[in-house]
Amino acid sequence: MALGFGKGKRLRKHAEFVRAKRLGRRVGTAHFTLLVSLQPGDAVAPRLGIIAARSVGGAVQRNRVKRLCRECFRTWPDLLPAGVDLVVIARPGAPALGLTEVRSEWHAVERLLRKRAADALAQARAADHPGRDRR
Q: Is residue 10 part of a domain?
A: no
- Domain of residue 115: give its range: 26-119
CB 20 within 8 A of CB 84: no
CATH classification at residue 51 = 3.30.230.10
Q: Is residue 100 part of a domain?
A: yes
Total of domains in the chain: 1
Looking at residue 103, its pLDDT comes to: 96
Q: Is residue 52 part of a domain?
A: yes
Looking at residue 71, its pLDDT comes to: 95
How far apart are the C-alpha atoms of 28 and 42, rounded to whole Å? 28
Q: Is residue 133 part of a domain?
A: no
Looking at residue 135, its pLDDT comes to: 46
Report pLDDT digits (tens) over 92-125: 999 999 999 999 999 999 999 999 999 988 887 7
Which residues, listed in sequence order, are joined to residue 90 by a DSSP beta bridge? 32
The stretches in the chain having pLDDT less than 70 are 1-3, 127-135
**Does the CA dihedral 2-4-7-9 come out positive or negative?**
positive
Q: Is residue 125 part of a domain?
A: no
Q: Is residue 124 part of a domain?
A: no
